[in-house]
Amino acid sequence: MRALLSEVVGGPETLKLSDLPDPQAGAGQVVVAVRACAINYPDVLIIEDKYQFKPQRPFAPGGEIAGVIESVGDSVTGWAVGDRVVAVIGHGGLAEKVAVPAGALYRLPEGRDFAEGAALLLTYATTIHALLDRGRLQAGQSLLVLGAAGGVGLAAIELGKAYGARVVAAVSSEEKAEAARAAGADETIVYGHAPFDKDQSKALAEQFKAAGGKPGFDVIYDPVGGDYAEPALRSIAWEGRYLVVGFPAGIPKLPLNLTLLKSCDVCGVFWGAFAARDPQANAAHVDTLFGLWAEGKIAPRVTERFAFADGGKAITKMAARGAIGKLVVKVAG
């Protein structure tokens, strides 16, 4: 089989399309013939050894896949050759075949294509955990979404609306604002590009405060970090919840006096650890997501599809924060 491998530490340009032996299904595993692999920000970090997990090289990036079961290992029940599946696997998805623990699989509904399936789990499962478990979002509350045109950002808009919130989407361009409005955002903010000086940071905080109104935002969803974090925090409501999701703009240093003045919570969101520690709760969330998908309340937005050999280009675009919605690599089929 072919795989797009990281053999040395570096950017997407270091990835090499190579031949490897086909994987074998061990006990409790299935081998999935990968049809599509979604690209996410962890794929940018993992090949540079900047992610919290550092696989042994050579390895293929790509943590979110859809495909067809090709073989089934011992002690696996409920799955058969030919089943269409989706899974979050951490890494290894930019390969024609991958061995996957059976417990990581979910069935891809009929009528959904592989690119849509590959684009669903990571962004939406992260976001439903963030909004409901960590953010305690309720109908009638207000939600500010930073980086709102990316995969997790659009998921936060859709899920926020599905649960009855007023959603304000903050983005870096009018093109991205259009995507946020199409996903259901009630209002959009177009902010400038960091870094910000003191006056620019204050001006952005005023933008956020104006959108949040006098009460402020009950929940702030931040998959961006950097210089955007403090201005957003300044717009939070009394006893609001600030959700820390990611840091493509850098790891911010928040003035903790703001948390005291607003009696607010700063909540970390680590979906992978949550799913490992409480698989039943995560499975319940995923069931909810499939239901919302069937009802048309959420829909993965695959905005660009890449050939297998161009998987590195997809990671490059993700690294440049140029993606709107989800980028998906067509591996086979």
Q: What's the mean pLDDT in 68-78?
A: 96
Q: pLDDT tens across 152-195, in order?
A: 999 999 999 999 999 999 999 999 999 999 999 999 999 988 99
Instruction: Give yes or no: residues 184 and 243 share one domain.
Output: yes
Counting residues of the chain whose pLDDT is more than 90, the rounded percentage is 95
Question: What is the model's pLDDT at position 320?
Answer: 87
Question: What is the model's pLDDT at position 321?
Answer: 81
Burial 98-121 (b: 16+ CB within 10 A, else e): bbbebebbbebeeebebbbbbbbb
Query: For residue 209, is it within any domain?
Result: yes
Question: What is the model's pLDDT at position 292?
Answer: 97
Instruction: Give yes or no: residues 153 and 253 share one domain.
Output: yes
Q: Tell me which residue range forms the domain holding 92.
A: 2-120+301-330
Give yes or no for residue 52 having a pLDDT over 90: no
Query: For residue 228, is it within any domain?
Result: yes
Query: For residue 165, is it within any domain?
Result: yes
Instruction: Give yes or no: residues 96 and 141 share one domain.
Output: no
Instruction: Give yes or no: residues 164 and 59 share one domain.
Output: no
Counting residues of the chain whose pLDDT is more than 70, the rounded percentage is 100
Identify the residue whose tokens are 């240093």. Answer: 253
Question: What average pLDDT does the chain have?
Answer: 96
Instruction: Give yes or no: residues 77 and 217 share one domain.
Output: no
Give yes or no for residue 2 having a pLDDT over 90: yes
Query: For residue 293, is it within any domain?
Result: no
Instruction: Give yes or no: residues 210 and 259 share one domain.
Output: yes
User: In whole angstroms, what is the distance from residue 189 CA to residue 146 CA?
Assistant: 9
Query: For residue 294, is it within any domain?
Result: no
Q: What's the mean pLDDT in 112-116?
A: 96
Instruction: Give yes or no: residues 133 and 242 share one domain.
Output: yes
* Cβ 157 vs Cβ 185: under 8 Å: yes
Question: What is the model's pLDDT at position 296?
Answer: 95
Instruction: Give yes or no: residues 308 and 202 share one domain.
Output: no
Query: For residue 296, is it within any domain?
Result: no
Instruction: Give yes or no: residues 133 and 229 share one domain.
Output: yes
Instruction: Give yes or no: residues 314 and 253 share one domain.
Output: no
Identify the residue whose tokens are 């499962």. Answer: 125
Instruction: Give yes or no: residues 91 and 146 share one domain.
Output: no
Query: For residue 156, is it within any domain?
Result: yes
Instruction: Give yes or no: residues 170 and 265 share one domain.
Output: yes
- Dihedral sign from CA coordinates of 95, 97, 99, 103: positive
Q: Domain count for the chain, please give it.
A: 2
Query: For residue 277, is it within any domain?
Result: no
Question: What is the model's pLDDT at position 128?
Answer: 98
CATH number (domain holding residue 52)? 3.90.180.10
Report helix, strand or coil for 96: coil
Q: pLDDT tens across 272-321, in order?
A: 999 999 999 999 999 999 999 999 999 999 999 999 999 999 999 999 88
